[in-house]
Chains A and B, each alone.
Chain A
Amino acid sequence: MALEALRVNRLRSALTMLGVIIGVSAVVILVAIGTGAKDAIEDEISGLGSNIILVVPGQLNFQAAPTQSRLDLADVAYVRRVVGDPGQVTVSVQSGESMRVGRNEAFVTIVGTDENIPNVFDRPLKRGRYLTESDIDTRRRVAVLGSEVSGQLFGDLDPVGRQATIAGVRFRVVGVYDKVGATFGVARDREVHIPVTTAQRLLGVQRVNGIAIGASGPDVIDSLGKKVVDALVARYPGEKFSAVTQTQLLGTIGTVLGMLTGVLAAIAGISLLVGGVGVSNIMLVSVRERTKEIGLRKALGARQRDVLGQFLIEAVLLTTIGGLIGIALGVGGSLLIEALSPVPASITLWSILLAFGVSVVVGVFFGVAPARRAGRLDPVVALRSE
Chain B
Amino acid sequence: MTAFEAAGLTRSYQLEGVTVDALRGVDLTIGDGEFAAIIGPSGSGKSTLMHLLGCLDRPTSGVLKVGGVDVSTLDDTQLAELRNRMIGFVFQSFHLLARTSALDNVALPLVYRGVAKAERRAKAREALTAVGLAHRLDHRPSQMSGGEQQRVAIARALVGDPQVVLADEPTGNLDTRNGDEVMGLLERLNADQGVAIVLVTHEPEVAVRARRQIHVRDGLIERDVA
Q: Are A299 and B97 in contact (CB under 8 A)?
A: no
Q: Is A303 an interface residue (CB 8 A)?
A: yes
Cα distance, A39 to B76, chains bound together (Å): 59
Interface centre among B99, B112, B156 (most CB of A within 10 A): B112
Task: Please report which residues of chain B, range 75-97, place their CB below 8 angstroms from some CB of chain A when the two chains form the complex.
Answer: 76-77, 80-81, 83-85, 89, 91, 93, 95, 97
Chain A 290-315 residues near chain B, CB threshold 8 A: 292-293, 296-306
A380's contact among B56, B84, B160, by CB below 8 Å, is which? B56
Name B112's contact: one of A303, A378, A380 (CB within 8 Å).
A303
Instruction: Check A301 against B99 for contact (C-beta < 8 Å).
Output: no
Residue B109 is within 8 A (CB to CB) of chain A in the complex: yes
Contact of A300 among B76, B84, B93, B100 (CB under 8 A): B84
**A231 nearest CB across to chain B (Å):** 82
- Set B81, B91, B97: member contacting A301, Cβ < 8 A: B81
Report if A383 contacts B (CB, 8 A): yes
Residues of B contacting A304 in the complex (Cβ-Cβ under 8 angstroms): 76-77, 80
CA distance A132 to B73 in the complex (A): 103
A303 & B56 in contact (Cβ 8 Å cutoff): no
**Size bracket, chain A contacts:** 20 to 34
Does A292 contact B95, Cβ atoms closer than 8 Å?
yes
How many A-B contacts are there with CB distance less than 8 Å?
55
Report Cα–Cα, A308/B83, bound state, in Å.
Answer: 18
**Per a CB cutoff under 8 Å, which of B51, B80, B85 touches A302?**
B80
Decide if B147 is an interface residue (CB 8 Å cutoff): no
Question: Given the interface contacts A303-B112, A383-B91, does A298 sit within 8 Å of B56 by beta carbon?
Answer: yes
Could you tell me the distance in whole angstroms from the C-beta of B13 to the nearest C-beta in chain A?
A: 10
Cβ distance B210 to chain A, nearest Cβ, rounded Å: 22
Question: In chain A, residues 335-386, which have Cβ atoms closer than 8 Å to a Cβ of chain B?
Answer: 378-380, 383, 386
The minimal Cβ–Cβ distance linking A363 to chain B, given in whole angstroms, is 23
A4 at the interface (CB under 8 A from B): yes
A8 within 8 Å of B by Cβ? yes
Nearest B residue to A382, CB-CB: B56
> Which residues from A are CB-within-8-Å of B57?
378-380
* B223 CB to nearest A CB, Å: 26
> A8 to B54, alpha carbons, bound, how many Å?
31
Complex interface residues of chain B between 106 and 162 (CB less than 8 A to chain A): 108-109, 112-113, 156, 160
- Does the CB pair A298–B80 fall under 8 Å? yes
CB pair B56 A300 closer than 8 Å: no
Q: Which residue of B lies closest to A301 (CB)?
A: B84
**Residues in B lying within 8 Å of A, measured CB to CB:** 51, 54, 56-57, 76-77, 80-81, 83-85, 89, 91, 93, 95, 97, 99-100, 108-109, 112-113, 156, 160
In the complex, besides A299-B89, A302-B80, A306-B112, 13 extra interface pairs with C-beta distance below 8 angstroms are A292-B95, A300-B83, A300-B108, A300-B112, A300-B156, A301-B83, A301-B112, A303-B76, A303-B81, A304-B80, A305-B77, A383-B56, A383-B91
**A296 & B77 in contact (Cβ 8 Å cutoff):** no
Can you sample 27 A-B contacts with CB below 8 Å? A4-B99, A4-B100, A8-B99, A296-B95, A298-B56, A298-B80, A299-B56, A299-B89, A300-B83, A300-B89, A300-B112, A300-B156, A301-B80, A301-B83, A301-B112, A301-B160, A302-B112, A303-B76, A303-B77, A303-B80, A304-B77, A304-B80, A305-B77, A306-B112, A380-B57, A383-B56, A383-B95
Chain B residue nearest in CB terms to A5: B99
- Of B51, B56, B85, B113, most buried by chain A (CB within 10 Å of CB) is B56
| Contact yes or no, A297 B56, CB < 8 A | no
Question: Contact check: which of B54, B76, B93, B99 meets A299 at CB < 8 Å?
Answer: B54
CA distance A301 to B156 in the complex (A): 12
Query: Which residues of B are found within 8 Å of A300, using beta-carbon distances?
Result: 83-84, 89, 108-109, 112, 156
Give chain B residues whose Cβ lies under 8 Å from the Cβ of A293: 97
* CA gap between A296 and B56 in the complex, in Å: 10
Instruction: Give the distance in Å from the alpha carbon of A51 to the alpha carbon of B161 in the complex.
Output: 85
8 residue pairs, one from A and one from B, having the closest CB atoms: A301-B84, A301-B112, A303-B80, A300-B109, A379-B56, A380-B57, A296-B95, A303-B77
- B81 contacts across to A, CB distance below 8 A: 301, 303
B80 & A380 in contact (Cβ 8 Å cutoff): no
Q: What residues of B have a CB within 8 angstroms of the CB of A379 in the complex?
A: 56-57
A304 CA to B80 CA, complexed, in Å: 9
